[in-house]
Chain A
Amino acid sequence: MMDERRIVRILLTTLALGFLGLFLVVPLVLVFAQAFSAGLGAYVAAIAQPDALSAIRLSLIVALITVPLNTIFGLAAGWSIGKFDFRGKGLLVTLIELPVAVSPVVSGLVFVLLFGAQGLAGGWLAARGIEVIFAVPGIVLATTFVTFPYVARELIAFMQSQGNEAEEAALVLGAGGVQTFLRVTLPNIKWSLLYGVIQANARTLGEFGAVSVVSGHIRGETNTIPLHVEILYNEYSFAAAFSVASLLVVVALLTLAAKRAVGWRAARRRAAAERAAIHRETGWADRPSARTSSLPGGRPAAKVTTVEV
């Protein structure tokens, strides 16, 4: 007879795996199945098509601008919130989370209202011939807004947990602000930073809602990869749509692998610290030593001997 707990376990595991299969694995497989449904030649052709190449180029340009901006912003936010106390800190943390809470479409609309032809700064910009909405600057702005919490919140959490002691130690030892940041803070946060950057990058390449509002869908000019996929799909070019979409899936899989690797590095360092804590050793006074050592002051030392009573 089967144990009741075992039945529950099998049931729950099956449920979880079934759910995972239905909503993750099947769609993933379908994307590739559809992409290659017209053969390898059609797949390559769909990607090599000029409009598709332009969309890929634009997505990469946006990522190249957005991700470094987010990194700098995230470092500044993490540094100020994690290391200092000031009035309004709670409000700032909440504001940083805002883009995650707001629907991307609303985020996009905000920029149209600000920089569009009818918008607050629209007339001023038009008079100077600067295009923001329905152009690359608008796409960059919207994407930056939507993705800026990713690096920041990763760093805020980590830097808050770390405290200030290492930086203070560096300052007392004679390091300046820049030296402290480069030699102590940055090496300490690098895995968290990398993790945040990977996430921000994935979100940048995949962003649809906000970009869709500000882009204007001009083929070969303001289409990013997700927008191009939508256009192809709406034109019933299913095989081509899925071919381009498969690029995003590959990015997602690479992101997962990278996150896993980075997370594994961090976990391994933690484990090393715990192992060392278990392996304790007694202090230095209990080790009898009859050596005569020269003191760091350059003066000869008395014999360093401890006698057990």
Chain B
Amino acid sequence: MNVEAANVSKRFGVYTALDDVSLEVPAGSLLALLGPSGSGKTTLLRVIAGLEVPDSGRIVIGGEDVTRRPPRQRNVGLVFQHYALFGHMSVFENVAFGLRVRGLPQREVQERVEELLAYVQLEGLGCRFPAELSGGQRQRVALARALAIRPKVLLLDEPFGALDAKVRVELRQSLRRLHEEMHLTSIFVTHDQEEAFEVADEVVVMNRGRIEQVGAPHHLFQCPANAFVADFLGDVNVLHGCVSCGRASFGGLEIPYPEYPGETPLPATAYLRNHEMELRRTGNGEMHVAVRIAHAKNTGPAVKLMLIAQPCRSTLHLELRPEEWERLGLAIGDTAYIVPRRLSVFVTEGPATQTTLGKE
């Protein structure tokens, strides 16, 4: 079933958690809500589940307006970040809860719960209590419990958040598999870019109660809509400069910027990714930025460099293979040049431009 949020706003006192958010989740897709803490992603999930009533806007699930409906009439499955298992009930009763409150006969409950426990590979643990389970096992109980009521939409709040690193990576694949086998519309919240990109078909980047960009992982990475998205997606270096007369200039680096033909210079930011720039001993004319090598650390597989861009004093980070570093023959304190292959330019409030430089 498709899920739609239309112009949803939600405030808690003076704090705006959701600011006119609109989003369409097509039926059967697996979507990640990605953003830093306080970006409104969990609130959006809770509004969809019906645990929060939006101040304005509508929630439509499967074509029906459910904005004013209580959670129990929405038929969604929700997995809480800390699982929220019922501590006084056995694993079996936890999974059975949604079926029992619906008044299903004992035989059906028994059958369905056993089926689900087998699916999440917890058969035989039905009579244990949540306190006797590990984190990963609790997560699976929470999942089975949410699935028991045959929801059309599965919502997961930081599903990997409370688990240790190894289990997290394994669970990503499990979630992907589950989504494909169950034909659900799934939405999960995460603050981890890697998780969102690896698991989701589509990623929604949120910040301060607004949606910054929606797109497939590779699209977001290649064409970030604005400075926040570029920054949040990580591993970027920032250069400060300005735009005027259809050109953007960042120290020695000048590129065309036809979007702004005005003469008054506007401050601008260029984002370049680690793997999309090259370090050289000498410049190549126009397309370079002079840098001073502030710090170099050989960590074994890579040499991590800290560079200070000469014109704007911003700090750049770059990793080289040790043999590349050897070949350049540079030392701390030397001046070198950065030649970007690709960079994104943002003027405050202006549209983003992606420029691919040179051959590629």
The interface of chain A, by Cβ under 8 A from chain B, is 165-166, 168-176, 179, 183-184, 187-188, 269, 272-273, 276-277, 279-287, 289, 293-297, 301-302, 304, 306
Complex interface: chain B residues within 8 A of A294 (CB): 115
Q: From residue A126, how far is it (CB to closest CB) to chain B in Å?
A: 50
A187 touches B50 (CB 8 A): no
Question: 12 interchain pairs (CB within 8 A)?
Answer: A170-B97, A172-B74, A172-B146, A173-B97, A173-B146, A173-B149, A184-B86, A188-B87, A284-B120, A285-B173, A289-B121, A297-B182
- Selected interface stretch from B163-171, B247-255, B307-315: B163-171
B174 touches A283 (CB 8 A): yes
Taking A285-B173, A289-B121 as contacts, is the C-beta distance between A172 and B87 under 8 angstroms? no
B163 touches A283 (CB 8 A): yes
Q: How far is the CA of A174 from the CA of B89 in the complex (A)?
A: 17
Rank and list the top 5 A-B pairs by shortest CB-CB distance, nearest first: A285-B170, A165-B84, A173-B98, A281-B134, A283-B167
Q: How far is the CA of A269 from the CA of B170 in the complex (A)?
A: 30
Is B215 an interface position by the 8 A CB rule?
A: no
Q: How far is the CA of A276 from the CA of B85 in the complex (A)?
A: 14
B147 touches A296 (CB 8 A): yes
Taking A171-B71, A293-B118 as contacts, is the C-beta distance between A273 and B131 under 8 angstroms? yes
Complex interface: chain B residues within 8 A of A175 (CB): 72, 97, 101
Residue of B nearest to A273 (CB): B131
Is B78 an interface position by the 8 A CB rule?
A: yes
Complex interface: chain B residues within 8 A of A269 (CB): 87, 131
Q: From residue A257, how far is it (CB to closest CB) to chain B in Å?
A: 24
Q: How far is the CA of A75 from the CA of B298 in the complex (A)?
A: 63
- What size tier do the contact residues of chain B reach? 35 or more
Residue of A nearest to B80 (CB): A165
Further pairs besides A269-B87, A286-B170: 16, Cβ < 8 Å: A168-B84, A169-B84, A170-B97, A171-B70, A172-B72, A173-B149, A187-B86, A187-B89, A279-B134, A282-B166, A283-B136, A283-B170, A285-B173, A294-B115, A296-B112, A296-B119
A276 touches B132 (CB 8 A): yes
Within 8 Å by CB of A172, from B49, B89, B118, lies B49
Q: How far is the CA of A172 from the CA of B74 in the complex (A)?
A: 8
Complex interface: chain B residues within 8 A of A301 (CB): 181
Complex interface: chain A residues within 8 A of B87 (CB): 166, 188, 269, 273
A272 touches B98 (CB 8 A): no
B121 touches A280 (CB 8 A): no
Complex interface: chain A residues within 8 A of B112 (CB): 296
Q: Type the 1/0 row for B154-198, where 1 means its CB is closer than 8 Å to any CB of A.
A: 000000000110110011011001000111000000000000000
The dominant DSSP class at the A interface is: loop
Q: How far is the CA of A168 from the CA of B145 in the complex (A)?
A: 13
Within 8 Å by CB of B150, from A166, A287, A297, lies A297
Complex interface: chain A residues within 8 A of B146 (CB): 172-173
Which residues of chain B from 83 to 106 have a CB within 8 Å of any chain A CB? 84-89, 97-98, 101-102
Q: How far is the CA of A302 from the CA of B119 in the complex (A)?
A: 12
Q: How far is the CA of A47 from the CA of B101 in the complex (A)?
A: 52
Residue of B nearest to A298 (CB): B115
Within 8 Å by CB of A272, from B132, B173, B181, B183, lies B132
A284 touches B174 (CB 8 A): yes
A296 touches B166 (CB 8 A): no
Residue of B nearest to A174 (CB): B72
Q: Type the 1/0 row for B107-144, where 1 means its CB is closer than 8 Å to any CB of A.
A: 00000100110111100000001011111110110000
Interface centre among A166, A188, A285 (most CB of B within 10 A): A285
Is B8 an interface position by the 8 A CB rule?
A: no
Is B31 an interface position by the 8 A CB rule?
A: no
Taking A174-B102, A269-B131, A280-B164 as contacts, is the C-beta distance between A295 and B182 under 8 angstroms? yes
Is B342 an interface position by the 8 A CB rule?
A: no
B170 touches A295 (CB 8 A): no
Q: How far is the CA of A247 from the CA of B84 in the complex (A)?
A: 45
Residue of A nearest to B182 (CB): A297
Q: From residue A78, how far is it (CB to closest CB) to chain B in Å?
A: 17
Complex interface: chain A residues within 8 A of B121 (CB): 284, 287, 289
Is B51 an interface position by the 8 A CB rule?
A: yes
Is B82 an interface position by the 8 A CB rule?
A: yes
Complex interface: chain A residues within 8 A of B84 (CB): 165-166, 168-169
Complex interface: chain B residues within 8 A of A296 (CB): 112, 115-116, 119, 147-148, 150, 182
Is B76 an interface position by the 8 A CB rule?
A: yes
Residue of B nearest to A170 (CB): B97
Complex interface: chain B residues within 8 A of A173 (CB): 72, 97-98, 101, 145-146, 148-149
Q: How far is the CA of A295 from the CA of B116 in the complex (A)?
A: 8
B134 touches A188 (CB 8 A): no
B170 touches A174 (CB 8 A): no
Interface centre among B97, B132, B146, B173 (most CB of A within 10 A): B97
A172 touches B174 (CB 8 A): no
Taking A285-B173, A296-B112 as contacts, is the C-beta distance between A174 and B51 under 8 angstroms? no
Residue of A nearest to B101 (CB): A175
Q: How far is the CA of A280 from the CA of B164 in the complex (A)?
A: 10
Residue of B nearest to A286 (CB): B170
Q: From residue B48, how far is it (CB to closest CB) to chain A in Å?
A: 11
Complex interface: chain B residues within 8 A of A183 (CB): 86, 97, 101
A285 touches B102 (CB 8 A): no
Q: How far is the CA of A184 from the CA of B94 in the complex (A)?
A: 10
A281 touches B137 (CB 8 A): yes
Q: From residue B43, how far is it (CB to closest CB) to chain A in Å?
A: 13
Residue of A nearest to B49 (CB): A172
Residue of B nearest to A171 (CB): B71
Taking A179-B101, A284-B140, A284-B174 as contacts, is the C-beta distance between A168 and B131 under 8 angstroms? no
